[in-house]
Amino acid sequence: MAKPLEEALPRSENELARVGVAEEAIASPAIPEAAPLPSAQAAAPASPASVGQDLHLTYMPHWNAAQRAAADLKVKMLTHAVTIVSQVDVPIWNARISLAFPETKGRVTCFGYDWQGSAFAVDSQRLEQGQPGVVLFEPGTAEALEIPNNIETFHDVLVVENPDAALSANIYLEDWLAAGGAQPGYDQCIGYQRPLFLGGEDDISNQELSDLEVYWHIVGQIIAKVKGLSPGTAVNLKGG
């Protein structure tokens, strides 16, 4: 179960969401040579900092129809869930996190982000099995959550064995995309129109395709400025 970082509130494990990772953080296990899966492709459009790479996966020769169908579903979920990002984007994400959560500046290093714009980072001041622990920073809820995994066990165990809990791939596919929602590009996310910490509803009707940089910069400032205010306090936002 995830634990809160600093004053953040805890959140259920099955609310964890889709994550993108820095390419240096991924170790791809060998896949047995067998019949190819029908679809395995890059999850998001390439950017100047990241070139999409097709990963051609295979069935095991002895799998029956049910196992092949399960493999197809797994690939579909992970294809929509995972975005590979370049290491050059890490300083940008570190700055976004420190804007909203200034107490983490110099402490965490971002390695990825999810379809809702939440950032995943490793915390140099907390170890999980001898390696820096993973932290999830959510702009929509203003929460920073400690995940009981390091980057290796997060990808190799949690994401592989429980993708719905780790990535919320089922919510993305069955709720957002099924309702006609757009797939976010490399520089986009599905953000809340009204963040949950400002009283917004946790429903796709309160979500929209958003510019990732704008979403984090605006919401991040609000998160930093409302810390310490009593629940229910009215806030007046002024831009410019």
161-183 confidence digits (pLDDT tens): 877 777 777 778 889 989 999 98
Higher per-residue confidence, 54 vs 184: 184
Per-residue model confidence as pLDDT tens digits over 131-161: 999 999 999 999 999 999 999 998 888 877 8
CA nearest to 8, candidates 136, 129, 130: 136
The conformation of residue 154, written as its DSSP 8-state character, comes to I
User: Where on the phi/psi map is residue 228: left (φ > 0), alpha (ψ -120 to 50), or beta?
Assistant: left
CA dist., res. 78 & res. 109, Å (int): 23
Query: Cα separation of 141 and 13, whole Å?
Result: 15
Examine the pLDDT at 48 and tell me if it is beyond 50: no
Residue 211: its pLDDT value, please? 96
Count CB-CB contacts under 10 A for residue 62. 7
Asked if residue 134 lies in contact with residue 3, where contact means CB atoms within 8 angstroms, the answer is no
Q: Which of 91-95, 106-110, 156-160, 232-236 is the least confident region?
A: 156-160
For all residues of the chain together, what is the average pLDDT? 78
Compute the average pLDDT of residues 67-74. Answer: 82
- H helix or E strand, kind and range, residue 47: none
In the chain, which residue ranges form alpha helices assigned H by DSSP? 65-81, 90-100, 151-153, 160-161, 163-167, 169-171, 212-226
Task: Report how far residue 1's alpha carbon sits from residue 200's, in angstroms, rounded to the nearest whole number.
Answer: 25
pLDDT at 220 over 80: yes
Task: Look at the block and give the residue holding tokens 């596919």.
Answer: 173
Provide φ and ψ at 110, rounded to 5°: -75, 140
pLDDT, position 219: 96
16-30, 41-55, 173-187: range with lowest mean pLDDT: 16-30
Q: What is the pLDDT of residue 129?
A: 96
In this predicted structure, what is the pLDDT of residue 18?
Answer: 36
